[in-house]
Each structure stands twice: as C-alpha cells, then as structure tokens.
Structure 1
Amino acid sequence: MRVSYDWLKTMIDIPEDPKTLSDEYIRTGTEVEAIDTVGESFDHVVTAKVLTKTPHPDSDHMYVCSVDVGDKNLDADGNPAPLQIVCGAQNFEAGDHIVTAMIGAVLPGDVKIKKSKLRGVVSMGMNCSARELGLGGDHSGIMILPEDTPCGMPFAEYVGSSDTVLDCEITPNRPDCLSMIGMARETGAIFDRDFHVELPAIKAETGRATDDELSVEIADEGLCDRYVARIVRNVKVGPSPDWMVKRLNALGVRPHNNIVDITNYVMMLTGQPLHAFDLDTFAERDGHRRVVVRAAQQDEKFTTLDGEERTLDAGMGLITDGERPVALAGVMGGMDSEIEDDTVDVMVESACFNAGRTSHTSRDLSLISDASIRFERQVDETGCVDVANVTCALIEEIAGGEVAPGYVDVFPAPKTIDSIKLRLARVHAICGADIEPDFIERSLTRLGCTVERDGEDFMVTPPSFRPDLPREIDLIEEVLRLWGMGRVTATIPAAKNHIGGLTREQKLTRKVGEILRACGLNETTTFGFAAPGDLEKIGMSTEGRGCPVVLMNPLVAEQTEMRRSLLPGLLQSVAYNEAHGTPNVHLYEVGSLFHGRENASLPKETKSVAGVLSGQWSEQSWNMKYRKLRFFFGKGIVEELLAQLRIEKVRFRPVEGESYAFLQPGRAAEVLSGGTVLGWVGEIHPEAREAMGIDEVVVAFELDLDKLIKGARNQDNYREFSQYPAVEHDLAIVVDNTVTCEDLERRITSAGGKLLEGVRLFDVYRDPVRIGKGKKSMAFALTYRSDDHTLTSEEVEKAHQKIVTKVCKGVNGEVRG
C-alpha cells in the first residue's frame, strides 16, 4: 500500500519529517519498504506523443519510435523536432500520449538516461513506465496519458508539486490498512491524534428509482455476502481533474477516465473495491435490467478488461446481466461492459465478495488486481452503501451525472459482532508492564473499537473492519504494539529452565541416517508434492496407500498432490543427475508420506526411508575393477541397517505380481520382521526406468520408518566369547531351483540347536547332467562350538546328521556326494 504523505496530511496532523512517520509505522508493526519522492527527480522528463512505431530491424520484441516532445527538442533552425527512441514495451501504439525521459534525466534509483545504441539503432531517451518514474503500478508497459495531454510539458508540472510516498507492506490480517482512511486511523492511534475525512454527499436524486429499473439476485450465497447497486444517468466521460490524477499517480494507479478513476480513487480512500458498468450494455426486458451473481460453469469463456479470453473453472464467481457474464466477481470487469467515451448511464457496484472464492479465482487465473487483493483479505460488508453513495456523489460532481433515487441492497446474512471482556490484570500479565487503563481505552477507541469500563476491566466491541480482533489476546496485542515493545523491561523468567533432549523417535531417525551414510549413501530431500499418476507411471500399485491428497492451491502446476511414496522423487533425482553427466548416484531420503482417508478431514501421515543406487558402486582403479550395482548391494545395505537397529527375525521374501510390477522379477524381495512387512528392496524394472528416462540399472529400497522404530531394540545384547575351539563341516544339498537360500538357512539354523554357531553359503552350482534338470546344489559352511567344553567328533556328527535329516526332508533334497 502506497501512502501519499500530502494526502495523509489533509486527514491528520502528522510530523513534517516522513522518516519519523516511517519509524513509527515500523515500531508498531507496519513495514515501510521505501520512501519515494514523486516529482523531485523529473528534470528532463516530459509528456510526449508517439508519432510513429516501427519494428526494430534486428529484434522481434523492440520498436523504433518517433516521439514528439514539443519544444523540448529543437533542430538546427530552432524548430521542434521529434526524438528517436527504441522501446521494448508492447502496450502502446502510434498516437498514444506517454512520458519520455530525455538525455540528462535521472530517474528514481539513480537511473541516468544517456544517448545509447540498442542493437545498432540510436536511442535518444526512454519511454517510461509508472514504476520507473517512482509511481509504482504496472512495470510491464509504459505509462499512457489522456489524449488531451500536451506535448513537452514537464512531468513534474503534469503531476503537480512533489509528494512523498511511503511504500508500506501491509500484513494479510490488516485489510483495513489497504486504504488512506485506514492508514489515517492507524496514524491517529500511533500519535494519539484525531483524524477527519470530508466525504462528498449526493446533492440530488432525480428520475426513475434504481430498484424500479434494476434487480439484483445472488444465486450462490457462498460467492457474495452483500451486493449494493446504484445508477447514475447522463454522465459525461472525460479526463479526471488534476488533483485526482495526482493522488492516483502517487498511489501507483494509472488514470483512465473520470468514471473509472473515481471508482479507483474511492477504493484507495476507503478500501472498498468498486466497479462501474456501462448500464446500456446490460440486457433489457420490458424496461428492466438484472444483475445475477452466480458460479461459472466448467470451461465457460469470458473476456476480461485486459482483452484476454479466459477459460473458467466451475465455482468461479461471475457477475451477469441474467444472460451473459459482465465481470469476474471481485477480480476484474468485462470488456463488453466497460466504460467508454460514449457511455451515458452507469451502474455502480459496491459489493462484498467471499474472500476464499475470490482468492482462488484470482490465483487460478493468474489475475491479481487491487480489488482481488482487498477482497481476499476480507472487506468490511457494513460500508457498501456508504461507499456507493460517496462514489455517486463524486460522479455527480465531476462527470455531471444525475443520481437515480435509492439503491438496491441484497444482504442475505448480516453478521453480528460480540463484545469481548478485556481484563486489566490479563493485559499486565501478558505485556509484562503496568500499562495505564486510560491508555488502553484511548488506544482501542482510536482504532475504531467501542470501549466501556467494567470496573477495572473493559467491555470492547471491535469494529466491523477489524476481523482480526475476535479474542481478548488480539486486543492485548493491539495495546502492546501501540504502547511499544521497546518499553517492556527485560526480566528473567520465573520458571526453571530444563535441558531439552531428543525423543526415542528422533534418536532412531538420526541413527538411520548415520547408518546409511556409513554405507556410502548421501542424504537428499525431494519435494513433498507429487504429480497425479506418478505411481502408476512407474508401475507402482496404489493399493494400501490411500487416496490422493489433492492440494487446493499448488505451488507448482504439475504437482497437485501430496506424495504417497519417496521412490518417484528419488528416481527423478537419478534421471536429473544422469542427464547432467553424473550416472553414479547413491542417495537416501527420510520423509513423510500422506495417505488420504474417506470421511476424514485429515490424511494419515507416515514416515518412510528410501534409497536409490545407480551406475557403479566404485570406480575402476589400478588395483580394483569397477563394481556394477546389482540387487545384492541394496539387500546388503538393508541388512546392515536392520542389524544395527537390532531388529529381530529379519527375512526376505521374493516378490511377484502387479503389486511389485515396478521391480525386476527375481531381483526383488519384501523385507519382513517376523510376520510384519517392513518394506521392499530390489532392482527397478527396465520399463519403469524407461518411463523416468533412466538408462543405468537402479537398485532401490523403501522401508516403513515407523515400523523400524517400533521394532528397534534400545539396548544391545552381549555374549561372552567361547574359549573352546570350533569345528567346521561343509554341507552341499541338491534342491529344486525354487528353494531359496533363506529357506535353507532358516531350516539349518532351526535344526542345529545350541551347538551350531554359524551358517554361511559359499557355493551355488547348476548342471543339468550332473545334478539334474531344474535342480541346483547349494553348499554351506557350518560352524559348531560349545560354550563350556571341547566338542567331540561324536557330538558334532550327531548334530550334523540331525541337520541333514531335517533339512533334506523339509525341502525334498538330498546331500550331494
């Protein structure tokens, strides 16, 4: 919000030094981003007219213009001569009146204008935008002036005497400060001074009554809280008076014509957005016109004032004449109903549109306007009639209009404001200071509250334009910021300080990261958002993952859902690195997943840990060959992780079927602890890699971190080493190819009893001739040892034969001779 110092001085007695005002704004919570002086830096800046506009011979986005600056540039004979200026703006044509900075001008920001060459063409100045002149506003095009603007007038003279403008950043909870009256009220509360605003009143009402000619219907009450309409007839559209142009320019609003300028002026004055329609463009039936506020249909088309046809989504707000749209509710008017030079009758709209619906429409269409900014922060619905009357009074005064008697006011559900008890003791306790009761009452009153004493306490009714004051604590905050945080004496808290610590979950989560880093993986963080269909794209089943959690206002157009797996994001990282010449990628991530639930307001959130390994595990060197990544690298990392977490009964089960279609068959497994599935590990299927644009083999894993934390043991168990020697026996068993190593190891361990200390697979042999078709020989090294004596050969042989008998019987195998 740009605050004109000269305009503010007409409402309230303020310090002569704008810096003092700026410091007080900052002290009380309003950030001042800049203090600009309008009119001071306008030497060699003049009004001008574009005579010709031709494309630049060596650029497809710049133009070579001939600009008439009046008598500010003379030829050798002393006659006015146009300037040649190269300009990249797209919003002007030959015949437009503009603002030109000539050679020698110094614009705000210490921008010095010199003779220059742009792609080989000489430019003798610059055509200026409002922002380049320090007036704020749109920077996408140059400033267009009214047609009757003379050429060669010093711009400082055109905008009037210099003015100081404070560029304030208004927080979203203070919509009341998006107006000059709001800033005057805020200033009055800061300096404890009265403010006054002289608002014009309608002098006379003549002709047919407004409600006799016009009706208003709010078809969707979720779009509009209140709609007020007034009619002004026989207006004369033309330029606005200089005083209004000066104030609009200071606030960064480009003047158009007197009717449009009046609506913008009143909006900047009061904070209430308005819109003026050409009434004759509305459909008429039997001398009657309608206004209908309704929701748009899906893919409905509408052309806004900027000339762009927009495709609307279902639910966006529209103002219609009962037959066709005439405006986007709370955002922008339509081209077919705008005020033109030949407009005679005007309908003034003063409405209060729903904040959320307006915000979604504005952002979904990437169409941010001064009106939408105010509506999405909530406009005071009680002021609609008064603001409409002020607007009509100005039109009557400036454009010579005749105000129709009465107005139409549709107000379905007026809101009531409850009083709040403000306890003096509570104020002192929260603020840490004994703030005087008179200061509290005076400050809240100046902010617009109604305050009544209740003994030592207060009964406070917040004003309708302060929706951010619903609780006692909010009132205390207002008192404290005006009294001054800097005045609060520093004290040592009475409570004892306690040293914080990490929870078990935090400790184990950190330990997981430490283990994976020790295994050679690097931590990464990918987006928590996902594109629709990202799981289906790689063949990952959505079963058991809940429904997608759809974002209402996504930051990225393609990522409209919360992620349900870490794998797609990690695969995107692999693809990105591979495309940029880094094929060896070893990453892991710990992050949250979000699973939507039917009939639940919030999704289920779980923690997951996942990793990806692609390319080579190690580079080739003089003493080591390179090692390409395969399934067992990932399996080994998972085994190490679970072992260090002391998770018991870990086993791996081969996976198959559609649930794991994204993994390579025969090179993937589920990870279990007893009967609990912890996750999976395996090589990514070639089709999934192709879908992600990855050439290298990728080994990946994803584990449920919540289950890992639940299954992890807090303490390590230690056992004393046996002092007695070990005895080793080899066992080679011929089994069907379908029998897994894990199955055999489990059976051997179970049958071995206390004497069996270790089992290690050291050979797998296949030969259809020697051991049979569909068969394989798996050789294990078995280690036997006792804790309390030296084993005899008879004891070892007995234990060994027991293993052979039980294992062979269990898997229908035989010992290989």
Structure 2
Amino acid sequence: MRVSYDWLKTMIDAPESPKELSDEYIRTGTEVEAIDVVGESFEHVVTAQVLEKTPHPDSDHMYVCKVSVGDKNVDAEGNPEPLQIVCGAQNFEAGDHIVTAMIGAELPGGIKIKKSKLRGVASFGMNCSARELGIGGDHAGIMILPEDAPVGMPFGEYYGSSDTVLDCEITPNRPDCLSMIGMARETGAIFDRDYHVELPAIKSKTGRATADEISVEIADEGLCDRYVARIVRNVKVGPSPDWMVKRLNSLGIRPHNNIVDITNYVMMLTGQPLHAFDLSTFAEHDGHRSVVVRAAKQDETFQTLDGEERVLDAGMGLITDGERPVALAGVMGGMDSEITDASVDVLVESACFNAGRTSHTSRDLSLISDASIRFERQVDETGCVDVANVTCALIEELAGGEVAPGYVDVYPAPKTIDSITLRYQRVLDICGAPIERDFVVRSLTRLGCTVEETGEDYLVTPPSFRPDLPREIDLIEEILRLWGMGRVEATIPAAKNHIGGLTHEQQLTRKVGQILRACGLNETTTFGFAAPGDLEKIHMSADGRGVPVVLMNPLVAEQTEMRRSLLPGLLQSVAYNEAHGTTNVHLYEIGTLFHGRENASLPRETQSVAGVLTGSWTDQTWNNTVDKLRFFAGKGIVEELLEQLRVPKVRFRVAEGEGYDFLQPGRAAEVLSGGTVLGWVGEIHPEAREAMNINQIVVAFELDLDKLIKGAHNQENYHEFSPFPAVQHDLAIVVPDEVTCEDLLQRITSAGGKLLENVRLFDVYRDPIRVGVGKKSMAFSLTYRSDDHTLTSDEVERAHGKIVTKLCKATGGEVRS
C-alpha cells in the first residue's frame, strides 16, 4: 500500500517528518519498504520552446518540430542543435513554451523515452501532455506553458510539485490498512490524534429508480456476500481533475478517464473495490436489465480488460447480464462492458466477493489486481452502500451525472459482530507493563472499537472492518502494539517446581545439526511452501509421500502447496547461488514435511534432514588443486552422521527403480539400518539439474529424521583398549564385477570372529589381461588383535585362512597372487 503523505495530511495532523511517521509505522508492525518522492526531479524533463513546426512528409496529422531545450541543445557531436521531435498533437504553434521529455526520461506509467523513428523521421524526445507527466488528466494536447516560462529549466524545479509516498507492506490480517482512511485511522491511533474525512454526498436524484431498471441475483451461494448497484445517467466521460490525477499517480495508478478514475480513487480512499459498467452494454428486455453473479462453467472463456482471452475453471466467479459475462468477480472487468468516451449511463457496482474464491480465481489465472488483493483479505461488507453513494456523488460532481433514486442491495446473510469481554487485569498480566486504563480505552476507541465499562472490565465491540479481532487476546495485542513492545521491561520467566531442559528428540535434532556443521555444511531454511508439480519437475516420485496439501489462501502464486520433500527447495538455493557466481555450495536443512491423506482433516507431518553439495570444499589456488565433490563425499557425510548417532546395522544398497529417477544411476544408494530404509544419498540426475537450471554436479541426501532419532543411541558400551599388539594382513581377492564391496565386508566380518578388529578396503583394480574380463581385484587390510594375549602366527593364519576359504566359496572368487 502506497501512502501519499500530502493526502494523509488532509485527513490528520501528521508528523512534520515522513521519516518520523515511517519509524512509528515500523514500531507498531507496519513495515515501510521505501520512502519515495514523486514528481520531485522529473529527470531529463525540461521546459522548452517550439522553434519550428512543419508537416510530416508522410503523415496528415503529425508534425516535425525543432524544439529548443536551452543549454541542452547538443547533437551527437557536441554541437549546439535544437532537438528534432515528431509530434502528433494539434494544439500548439511555433513559439509556444512547452514541456519536453528528452532521451533517458522515464514518465509515470513506466514510459521510457528513447530515440525512435516515426514514419521514417527520427525523433529525439517527446512533447508531453499533463496526463503523460502525471500532473493532470488532460491528454487532448500537449501542455502549453506561459509565454514568460524559462527555456531549459528542469521541469521539477519549474513546477515545484512533489509528494512523499511511503511504500508500506500491509500484513494479510490488516485489510483495513489497504486504504487512505485506514492509514489515517492507524496514524491517529499511533499518535493519539483525531482524523477527519470529508466525503461527498449526492446532491439530487432524478429519473427512473434504480430498482425499476435493474435487478441483482446471486445465483451461486458462497460467491458473493453482498452486492449493491446504483445507476448514474447522462455522464460526460473526459479527463479527471488535476488533484485526482496527482493523488492516483502518487499511489501508482495511471489515470484513464474520470469515471474509471473515480472508482479507483474511492477504492484507494476507502479500501472498497468498485467497478463501473457501461449500462448500455447490458442485455435489455422490456426496459429491464439484470445482474447475475454465478459460477463459471468448465473451460468457459472470457476477455478481461487487459485484452487477454481467459479460459476459466468451474467455480470461478462471474458477473453476467443474465446472458453473457461482463466481469470476473472481484478481479477484473471485461472488454465488452468497459467505460469509453461514448458511454452515457453507468452502473456502479459496490460488492463484497468471497475471499477464498477470489484468491483462487486470481492466482489460478495469474491475474493479480488491486481489487483481488483487497477481496482476498476480506472487504468490509457493511460499507458497500455508503461507498456506492460516495462514488455516485463524485460522478455527479466531476462528470455531470444524474444519480438515479435508490439502489439495489442483495445481502443474503447480514454480518453480526459479537462483543468481547476485556479484563483489565488480564491486559496487565499478558503485557507485563503498567498500561493505564485511559490508554486502553483511547487506543481501542481510536482503532474503531466501541468500548463500554462494566465495573473493573470492559465490553468491547470490534469494528466491522477489523476481522482480525475476534478474541480478547487480539484486543490485548493491539493495546500492546500501540503501547510499544520496547517499553516493556524484560523479566525472567517464572519457573516454579520444575527444571527446564530439552527433550530427547530436541537434543538429538541439535546434535544432527552439530555433526553436519562439523562436516562442513552450512544450515539453511527454505520455504515450507512448494509449487505444484515441483516433485515431477525433478522426476521425484510422489509414492509414499501422500497427496499434496493445497493452501486455501497462498501468499505467493507459485507456492500453493506444502512441501513433501526438502530437496526441491535446496536445489533452488543451489541454482540461485550458481546464478550469482557461487559454485562451492554446502547446505543442509532440518524441516517438516507435510503428507496429505485422503478423507483426513489433517496431514501427516514428518521431520526430515537433507543436504546438497556442489563444487569443491575449497577454492583452487596456485599451489592447491582441489577435487570436485562427488557421490562418495555425500556418502561419507551420511556415514559420519550415522556413526556419531550410533545408529546400528548401517548399510547401503543400490538405489534402483522409478522411485529414484531423480538420481544418477550407479551413483545413488539407499541408506538402511537393519531392514529400515532411512533415506537416500546420490548425485542428482542431469535432467533434474537441467530442470532446475543447475549446470554443475550436485550431490544430495535426504534422511527421515524421525527414524534416525528412533534408531540413535546416546551412549555406547565401554570397551577397554587392548594392551597387546595387532597383526595386519592384506587380502586381495578377484571377484566378478557384480559382487559389491558391502557384500565382501559383511562376509569378512562374519568369518573373522573375535580376533578380527578392523577391515578396510584400500584398492580396486581392473585389468582384462591380468585380472580377467568382467572381474575386479579388491584389496583389503585386515587387523587382528586379542584382548587377553599376544597373538601367535598360527592363530592369525588359522583366522585368516578361515576368512579366505569362506569368502572364495561364497563369492566364487580367488585370491590374487
């Protein structure tokens, strides 16, 4: 929400400094992203004078002008030369003083001035109308300045008009702040000052009554909470007055014509979206017209005001004239019923559409508008009639309209507001601050609440425009917000008869993070929300992950589901870092996954830990060559994590099947503890990396944290170190290629008995001549030791021979000489 400082000052005695106002907004929970000055500089826009005006050689309505811009008359070689500008306006002559935007200027509405050719003639700027400059609504011709206006002066300096605008981030629970009146009310509550707004009133009502000419029907329940319609006849469509254009420009809204501008102006003033229809475009039967609010049919099409043909889903809200759609309810009007210069009779719509349905329509169509933003945060339906009256009064005043008597109001379920008992002692207990009674009453009253004293406590009725205040605790929060959290003295929380501490699960979760950080990974936090199809995008199977949990009111159109894996979010972080030149990325995340269940009200939630590795551990230097991180780097981290957690019977097996299509075949493994699958580790498949715009190799892992914690052990049995020497033997055995190292290690360990202390693979060798085709030589270092005596050579040879015999018999291998 952009808040015009000049406009705000007409409603309330605002602080002299916009910075002070911004600081107080931030203190009370409204973030201010920027403080902009609109119309201050008009960079590259100057006062000018027309020196020559000649007809365009290839146009009957355009002119080629020589325009003097003072000391800025410089051509490409630096010689003094007036600008050549092609202009289509008809209201100027040679000698007139005008306003010119030179190359490099950027006008309101995002218009950038560049060198161009118009019908073969080069043009080096633009002669501007008041509307193009954002200081008036007239665009019939260019802006003519007085004869004594200087030439070449920056227009901002000459015009001397600017406005400070605070760009505020309004939280979703505060729809009342999406208006200038709402921000004036908020400012009054913060500074304990009165605010006042002078709203125009309808002066006279003539002609046929609105209810006699039009009827309103809400055909589908749940689409619209209230619909109010009024008719204004004989309007004169034209430019809006300068004061309105300036205010709309300050708030980032480009003017169109006086009727459309009035609806936008009232929306920004009150927070109630409105729409003006050309009444003549509605189907008429015996002098009567209809407005029908209904749900769209599947694949029904509708052309919105932006000229796009939209394909609608079943259930999206439509406004129709009983025969054809004229607007997308709560989002945008249609091309066929828009206000044009030829419009005479206007139908004013002031309605309140369902928040959830509007949000789905807007986001499913990727069509976000000022109206949809307000409707999906809940508009105050009780004000629909008053806002319609204000709109008609402005049309009467600024467009010469004749307001029809009465209005049509369809309100199926009038809103009721329950009063809340507010306990003063509860306020003190919750806030922990000596907040005076007078402050409690003043604050709530300035926020729009009705406060009635009932002995020691209060009976509070929240205003209809504050749907976020249904409970006592919400009122207390508002009181504390205005009082100031910074004024509350810090105290140590009471802890009677118990000692604080972390649970077993919390301790192990923290230990997981400590281990991964010790392994060189950095903790990150990605969004708990996900885009539809994010698993399919990287070819990750959804089997076993439940159905998607879809958000009713997503904050971002691309994040409409709850995540079912941590991997997509981590891969987005890798892609972001790579795009910004960071190639060595080592991240991990511990987070919650959400698995929807059919016919269940709540999803199943699980804890997961995942990591990604790209690049290398360190940057390469002139004296240090680094290795790229591959599969075994990720496997080593997983092994270290499981060893530190003392998870028993850990083993790895090849990850195969459609469930692992997102991993590179031959470089992926399942992680098991006994027969329980803990997760996976591997290199991401090139197609999955390409889908995420990642060029380099990515090693990743994801483990079920709940299973990890269940299988982890805090302590390990103590074993004394043996004081007797160890004996080492090497064993190289030739086996078929399909025999895995894990298989050999298990068999060696099983056959080695108590004397075998350690076994380690130190070499893998392949040679079709020396070893044989389809075979490999695997060399192990075996360590033998006894806890109670020094081993003899006979004992070691017997144990070693037993291992060799069983190994060769089980695998079909042979000892390599």
Q: TM tier, shorter chain?
A: 0.7 to 0.9
Corresponding residue pairs, total: 775
* Distance of aligned partners of 1:220 and 1:501 in 2 relative to their CA distance in 1, 3 Å threshold: same
Pick closer, same or farther for the CA change 1:394–1:504 going to 2, 3 Å: closer
Per-residue deviation at 1:319?
1.6
Give the deviation of 1:226 after TM superposition.
Answer: 0.5
Cα distance, 1:535 vs structure 2:
5.3
Tell me the distance in 2 between the aligned counterparts of 1:574 and 1:37: 39
Q: Residue 110 of structure 2 corresponds to which residue in structure 1? A: none
Corresponding letter in the other structure for 1:508: K
Conservation of the 8 A alpha-carbon contact between 1:549 and 1:561: yes
Q: How does 1:618-657 map onto structure 2 within 5 Å?
A: 635=635, 638-657=638-657
In 2, the alpha carbon distance for the partners of 1:348 and 1:47 equals: 44
Structure 1 Cα separation of the partners of residues 612 and 758 of structure 2:
30
User: In 1, Cα distance between the equivalents of 2:787 and 2:795?
Assistant: 14
Supply the distance in 2 between the matched residues of 1:798 and 1:684 (Cα, whole angstroms): 46
Match of 1:747 in 2: 747
Secondary structure (helix, strand or coil) at the match of 1:441 reads helix
2:334 aligned with 1:347, yes or no? no
- Describe the shift of the 1:8–1:680 C-alpha distance in structure 2 as closer, same or farther (beyond 3 A): closer
Once the two structures are overlaid, the 10-residue window that deviates more, 247-256 or 673-682, is 247-256
Aligned to 2:77: none
Residue 345 of structure 1 and its aligned partner are, at CA, apart by 2.0
Alpha-carbon distance in structure 2 between the residues aligned to 1:174 and 1:365: 25
Q: Which amino acid aligns with 1:449?
A: C
Q: In the aligned structure 2, how far is the partner of 1:338 from the partner of 1:203?
A: 26
The one-letter code matched in structure 2 to 1:231 is I
Structure 1 residue 13: deviation in Å? 6.9
Contact 1:163 1:250 in 2 (8 A): no
Q: Does 1:462 align with 2:450?
A: no
Q: Deviation at 1:51? A: 9.0
Which residue does the alignment assign to 2:588?
589
Give distance in 2, aligned partners of 1:447 and 1:438: 14
- On the 8 A contact 1:86/1:118 being kept in 2, the answer is no
Residue of structure 1 equivalent to 2:608:
607
SS class of match (1:409): strand
Partner of 2:145, secondary structure, is coil
Amino acid at match of 1:785: R
Moved more, 465-474 or 11-20: 11-20
**3-state SS, counterpart of residue 428 of structure 1:** helix
C-alpha distance in structure 2 between counterparts of 1:543 and 1:387, whole Å? 52
Distance apart, 1:533 and its partner CA: 5.8
Residue identity in the other structure for 1:151 = I
Distance 1:669 1:237 in 2: 71
Identity %: 69
1:152 aligns with 2:145: yes
Task: Output the amino acid matched with 1:609.
Answer: A
Aligned to 2:425: 425
Change over 3 Å in CA distance of 1:409–1:785 after alignment to 2: same
Which digits, 9 at most, give the CA deviation of each residue in 1:482-523, with x for residues without a partner? 55667x474655747999879423432233314532xxx787
RMSD, matched Cα: 5.8
Deviation for aligned residue 1:649: 2.1
**In 2, Cα distance between the equivalents of 1:121 and 1:610?**
58
CA contact (8 A) 1:355 1:378 kept: yes
Provide the rounded CA distance (Å) in 1 between the counterparts of 2:23 and 2:748. Answer: 81
Mark the CA change 1:34 to 1:211 in structure 2 (over 3 Å): closer, same or farther: same
Structure 1 residue 525, shift from structure 2 partner: 7.6
Tell me what 1:59 maps to.
none
Counterparts of 1:762 and 1:529, CA distance in 2: 45
Q: CA offsets, 1:432-462, max 9 Å, x none? A: 4444434433443343322222012111111
Change (3 A) 1:756 1:339: closer
Which moves more between the two structures, 719-728 or 767-776? Answer: 767-776
- The answer to which of 198-207 and 417-426 deviates more is 198-207
The correspondence for 2:507, drawn from 500, 504, 513, is 504
Work out the CA distance in 1 between the residues paired with 2:458 and 2:523: 56
Q: Which amino acid aligns with 1:263?
A: T
Q: How far, CA to CA, are the matches of 2:7 and 2:165 in structure 1?
A: 12
SS at match of 1:231: strand
Separation of aligned partners in 2, 1:46 and 1:623: 65
> How far apart, CA to CA, are the structure 1 residues paired with 2:481 and 2:566?
45
Aligned-residue offset at 1:631: 6.1
Q: Answer yes or no: is the 8 Å Cα contact 1:570–1:612 preserved in 2.
A: no
Contact 2:137–2:239 under 8 Å retained in 1? no
**Take 1:431 and 1:573, find their aligned partners in 2: how far apart are those partners?**
40
Range moving further from structure 2, 668-677 or 461-470: 668-677
Aligned match of 2:303: 303
Cα distance, 1:321 vs. partner? 1.1
The one-letter amino acid of 1:589's match is Y
1:719 and 2:722 aligned: no
SS state of the match for residue 610, structure 2? strand
- TM-score, normalization by structure 1: 0.75
Tell me what 2:233 maps to.
233
Which letter maps to 1:337? S
Q: Which residue of 1 aligns with 2:79?
A: none
- Structure 2 counterpart of 1:673, one-letter code: S
Aligned to 1:678: 678
Question: Could you report, residue by residue, the CA deviation over 1:664-690 in whole angstroms, capped at 9, with x for unpaired residues?
Answer: 666654332222223345566787788
- Give the structure 2 partner of residue 472 of structure 1: 472
2: CA distance, partners of 1:687 / 1:9: 58
Q: Deviations over 1:186-235 (max 9, x none)?
A: 55556666555554444554443322321212233333210011222333
Distance 2:682 2:17 in 1: 71
Look up the match of 2:413: 413
What is the distance in 1 between the residues matched to 2:772 and 2:68? Answer: 105
Q: SS of the residue aligned with 2:519?
A: helix
In 2 relative to 1, CA 17–530 (structure 1 residues): closer, same or farther, beyond 3 Å?
closer
- Out of 181-190 and 147-156, give the one that drifted further: 147-156
Residue 289 of structure 1 aligns to which amino acid in structure 2?
R
Aligned residue identity for 1:273: P
In structure 2, the gaps of 5 or more residues are 74-81, 108-112
Tell me how far apart the structure 2 counterparts of residues 577 and 198 of structure 1 sit (CA, whole Å). Answer: 53
Q: What's the offset of the Cα at 1:415?
A: 1.7
Cα distance change of structure 1 residues 66 and 561 upon mapping to structure 2, 3 Å threshold: farther
What is the CA–CA distance in structure 1 between the aligned matches of 2:161 and 2:357, rounded to whole Å? 40
For the residues of structure 2 that align with 1:481 and 1:622, how far apart are their CA atoms? 58
Secondary structure, aligned partner of 1:642: helix
Q: What is the DSSP-based 3-state SS (H/G/I as helix, E as strand, rest coil) of the residue aligned with 2:648?
A: coil
Does the aligned pair in 2 maintain the 1:549–1:594 contact within 8 Å? no
TM-score normalised by length of structure 2: 0.75
Amino acid at match of 1:220: D
Asked if the contact 1:69–1:151 (Cα under 8 Å) also holds between the matched residues in 2, the reply is no
Q: CA deviation at 1:372?
A: 3.5
Alpha-carbon offset, residue 349 of structure 1: 1.0
How many Å apart are 1:420 and its aligned residue? 0.8
Deviation at 1:292, TM superposition (A): 1.6
Tell which deviates more after alignment, 685-694 or 325-334. 685-694
Aligned to 2:170: 171
- What CA distance in whole angstroms lies between the structure 2 residues aligned with 1:765 and 1:41? 74
Residues 540-583 of structure 1: per-residue CA shift (max 9 Å, x gap)? 5443333445567888877776655566677788899999999x
Return the alpha-carbon distance in structure 2 between the equivalents of residues 71 and 816 of structure 1. Answer: 92
What is residue 513 of structure 1 aligned with on the other side?
516
- What secondary structure, in the 3-state scheme, does the structure 2 residue paired with 1:415 have? coil
Q: Name the SS for the 2:646 alignment partner.
A: coil
Q: State the distance in 1 between where 2:184 and 2:766 align.
A: 91
| Aligned 1:170-319 pairs, distance under 5 A | 171-172=170-171, 173-186=173-186, 189=189, 197-240=197-240, 254-319=254-319
Partner Cα distance (2:628, 2:543) in 1: 33
| Residue pairs, 1:427-442, within 5 angstroms | 427-442=427-442
* Structure 2 contact 279–347 (Cα < 8 Å) conserved: yes
> Aligned-pair distance for 1:413?
1.7
Whether the 8 Å CA contact 1:396–1:402 is kept in 2: the answer is: yes
CA distance in 1, matches of 2:319, 2:64: 42
Please state how far the C-alpha of 1:347 moved relative to its aligned partner.
Answer: 1.2
User: Is the contact between residue 524 and residue 588 of structure 1 (CA under 8 Å) also seen in structure 2?
Assistant: yes
Distance of 1:696 and 1:37 partners within structure 2:
45
8 Å contact kept, 1:24–1:190: yes
